[in-house]
Amino acid sequence: KELEHKIEMCQDPAEKQRLTSQLERKELEHTVKLERKELEHKLTLEKKELEHKIEMCQDPAEKQRLTSQLERKELVLDKHRAEVREEEAESAIWTEKTLSRDLVGHREANKLFFLDRSLFDPISSSQAGVRVLYCRDSFNEQWRFLDDRVCKAGCLGWILGPPGTGKTTTTMSFMQSRGMEEGWRVICFRLWKWGIVEFLQVDDGVLRKCEMPADNAGAWIPKFLRERAPSGKKTLVSIDGYRQGEQAHGFVLSACLYWVHRELENRRLVITTSMSSRAKKSSEQDANEKVEEMMVYSWTMEEYLEACRYDAFYKSVADVMKWSLDEEEGSMDEGEGSMDETEQERRSREIESKYQIVGGSCRYMFERRTDEAIQELRDGIEAVPDFASLFDMGMGERANNAVNRLHGKYRVGDEVHWTLVSRFVSMELAQRLGETFVRKIEELVDATGNPTLRGWLFEMLFFARIRGAGLQLTTRSEIVDDWKRCNVIRLEAMQIHKLQEKTKVARVCLKPLKWNQGGYDAVIVDWSEKFVRFVQVTTRQSHDLKLRYMAKCLQLLGIGKEEGWKVEIVFVVPEEILNSFSVKNVENKGILARYGWTRGNEAIEAQVFGMDPRTRR
């Protein structure tokens, strides 16, 4: 219709003729597509009719004849569909861009790597620039694996590990670098759970991209490899996002392996996947293919802090590093730094706050706002069909659901530990599933040896109990104190006040999200008793007391405008350190005087309770 309108309005005879020819080609293409659809529809109907006849037929000889006829019809239909897919592959739209050697590559003494955004952005995107990567130890290990074991030794490389650890970006950075070298061509097939397969090629510094439907992969990938990666030149092919059990992914892997076998001297293949391991391994086939694996581990707090020391890196991720929940007016999580805070101290505070939400996932740390990461992790929890599956820490993408994003894998010295990805996920699950869940986590094979998980278990137990049957604690005077159960929720202070007015909620446990927002893990508010209890749950032998955050929270809750409110600060520790625990430093002395606290005596007036760290059966 657009062409018809242009022809109608055109005054130039030559241009009108050109547009008319273009219209005729469009009409012909449309006619051919209709004819193809009609033919496929006709063949499909004939196939169904034969299947029905076979089902109803009682004569064995006639049934055999019809079955043979059906097999021939299926072959014709399959051939027709293959021809359609090949023709669609012919019409693939390619984009092309010359990569600038001046803008990409290593920087800052090889601690940063600049990756051209075009390798990641959709074909339709016009966004330019670079993506800045931090070269942590795992980044360098992955480069050495790709260079030494895949490219030089000719091994079939498998790069495994939890999602969000940087496997894809690291592989792409290596391929960008290798594709700009003379004598090398690199190709990448980016696979998704559903939808399209994206094809990228870098040859002599020129990036070419196109995309195709996943169901066409078996037809068009062999053709692309023949045309885009002919014999005689060293070529590295990467399959990114591979998932065991996905038919289209299997087609891609099979086609690439066959292509490698045709010229072993020059062709290399690496597969990047978020599976924790390759299922159904065959030792004989692994030996024949020279299979080698590399595991990429979750990020640590130290790696995040080191990355953000570099200005170029931090500026590239600054938009998502701010604690986005602070933007809500009246947030009880506000924990802004002091006026004399340095730039590096501010960055560290941002990372420490966000780390307890996202844990070892650099994707959530550097590519999502805090609220977005929280929502995606909660979606992952909601998507778990069977919470028992959470305890299979090694299942990875084989589960074909969102459980995998809730896992992390950490290397501590020579030991490797699977665990839940973050403190936030652990607490959410503990509140939802109770003490039974905490016990199952404790019973995992490596839970007691996992320092990351071990540090969370005591806090998980506290929230599971306060939301469940309640708590039974012991004072230093060996007096047993029972705390009644209450709901555990994370809401802004003003919303809590409105909730209390609307529903007559008498007692609630507020849980701030920031682990470093001021030294308390929970705030129990009882409106009927006019009672507030700040709770710090810790397994450490000592802890600081930062009173300004308690005062800020009380102000946001609207507490203090009337007389009679009692404010407590309580440390909950394991029973075995009850008598040895101490308050180390007290900041902002006297700020709680209006609530009955004596200036200078805050460390003495703060209470310490012991909780049994053993889970009940």
Domain count, the chain: 4
**Do residues 331 and 446 share a domain?**
yes
253 near 221, Cβ under 8 Å?
no
Contacts of range 310-315, beta carbons closer than 8 Å, 24 or more positions apart: 310/108, 310/111, 310/112, 310/134, 312/107, 312/108, 312/112, 312/132, 313/112, 313/132, 313/133, 313/134, 314/347
Q: What distance in Å separates the CA atoms of residue 18 and residue 20, rounded to the nearest whole number? A: 5
What is the DSSP code (8-state) at residue 147? I
The answer for residues whose C-beta is within 8 angstroms of residue 59's C-beta and 6 or more apart is none
Neighbours of 81 (CB within 10 A): 16
- 606 or 280: which leads in pLDDT: 606
Give me 547's structure tokens. 């009173």
Domain-embedded: residue 110: no
C-alpha count within 13 angstroms, C-beta hemisphere, residue 545: 27
Question: What CATH number does the domain containing 276 carry?
Answer: 3.40.50.300
| Together in a domain, 531 and 411 | no
Q: Do the beta carbons of residue 471 and residue 462 sit within 8 Å?
A: yes
Contact predicate 275/160, CB 8 Å: yes
**Which of 280, 297, 302 has the alpha carbon at shortest distance from 163?**
297
Per-residue pLDDT band at 205 (split at 50, 70, 90): confident
Residue 125 within a domain: no
Domain-located, residue 117: no
Residues 157 and 244 in one domain: yes
434 in the same domain as 355: yes
At 193 the pLDDT is 78
Given a contact cutoff of 8 angstroms between Cβ atoms, the answer to whether 155 and 149 are in contact is yes
Whole domain around residue 168: which residue ranges? 95-99+135-295
* Residue that terminates a domain, selected from 427, 453, 479: 453
Beta strand residue intervals within 121-231, DSSP E? 130-134, 156-160, 184-191, 196-203, 206-213
Asked if pLDDT for residue 617 goes beyond 70, the answer is no
Q: In terms of pLDDT, which residue wins out, 350 or 456?
A: 350
Question: Which residues are CB-neighbours of 514 under 8 A, at least 6 positions away?
Answer: 323, 333, 335, 353, 356
**DSSP assignment of 433-462, as one string?**
H-HHHHHHHHTSTTSTT-HHHHHHHHHHHH
Phi-psi region of 369 (alpha: psi -120 to 50; beta: other; left: phi over 0): beta
Bigger pLDDT: 90 vs 545:
545
What's the mean per-residue pLDDT of the chain? 83
Dump pLDDT digits (tens) for 112-121.
999 998 887 6
pTM score, two decimals?
0.76
> Which positions ≥6 away from 316 have C-beta within 8 Å?
131, 132
* d(C-alpha 75, C-alpha 60), whole Å: 23
Residue 427: pLDDT band by 50, 70, 90 thresholds? confident
CB 546 within 8 A of CB 588: yes
> In which band, very low, low, confident or very high, does the pLDDT at 328 lie, cut at 50, 70 and 90?
very low
Is 384 part of a structural domain of the chain? Answer: yes
Would 104 be classed as within a structural domain? no
- Residues 53-81 have pLDDT tens digits of 998 999 999 989 989 988 888 888 777 77
Cα torsion angle, 498, 500, 504, 505, sign: positive
Residue 294 contacts residue 125 (beta carbons within 8 Å): no
Amino acid code (one letter) for 339 = M
